[in-house]
Amino acid sequence: MLSPILFGNGAIERAAHLRNDAAAQAQMQASPGARFMALWRGHVLVTDAPEIAWLTRAEARRASDGAPLFLGLLNGQPRYALDIPDWEEAGEDEGQFQKTEAVHPALTGTFRDVRSLFFRLPDASLGDVATAKSLLHWHRSHRYCGACGHKTTRTHGGWQLSCTHCALVVFPHIEPVVIMVVTRGNKTLLGRSHGWPAGMFSLLAGFMEPGETIAEAVRREVMEETGVKVGKVKVLDNQPWPFPSSLMIGCHAEALSEDINLDPVELEAALWASRERVMETLDGSDPSFQPARKGAIARNLLDRWLAGII
Taking Cα atoms as reference points, which of 238, 227, 242 lies closest to residue 191? 227
> What's the DSSP call for residue 55?
B
Taking Cα atoms as reference points, which of 114, 98, 97, 122 lies closest to residue 40? 114
> What pLDDT score does 292 carry?
87
> What pLDDT score does 284 carry?
86
CA pair distance 126, 117, nearest whole angstrom: 8
> What pLDDT score does 98 carry?
56
Residue 173's SS3 state is: coil
> What pLDDT score does 97 carry?
52
Alpha-carbon separation of residue 83 from 26, 77, 142, 143, 303 (angstroms): 19, 20, 14, 14, 36
CA pair distance 57, 54, nearest whole angstrom: 10
Where do the domains of the chain lie, and which CATH numbers do they carry? 16-141 (3.90.79), 175-307 (3.90.79.10)
Q: Which helix (H) or strand (E) holds 62?
A: helix 57-63
> What pLDDT score does 280 carry?
94
> What pLDDT score does 245 carry?
97
Burial label, 213 (beta-carbon count in 10 A; 0-12, 13-18, 19+): exposed
Asked if residues 272 and 258 have their Cβ atoms less than 8 Å apart, the reply is yes
71-108 burial code (b ≥16 CB/10 A, e <16): bbbbeeebbbbbbbeeeeebeeeeeeeebeebebeebe
> What pLDDT score does 253 carry?
98
C-alpha 206, offset from chain centre = 14
CA pair distance 1, 306, nearest whole angstrom: 10
What residues pair up with 32 in beta bridges, in sequence order?
Answer: none
> What pLDDT score does 96 carry?
55
* Extended beta strands in the chain, E state: 35-40, 43-46, 69-74, 77-83, 101-102, 110-112, 152-155, 160-163, 169-170, 175-184, 187-192, 204-207, 230-241, 246-255, 269-274
Q: Mean pLDDT, 10 residues at a time, over the chain (310 residues)? A: 91 97 96 97 96 97 95 98 92 66 95 94 96 97 96 96 96 97 97 92 97 98 98 98 97 98 96 96 88 93 95
Asked if residues 129 and 85 have their Cβ atoms less than 8 Å apart, the reply is no
Q: What pTM did the predictor assign?
A: 0.93
> What pLDDT score does 237 carry?
97
CA pair distance 102, 129, nearest whole angstrom: 17
**Cis? peptide before 244, omega within 30° of 0:** yes
> What pLDDT score does 95 carry?
60
Which alpha helices (DSSP H) does 142-213 contain, by range? none
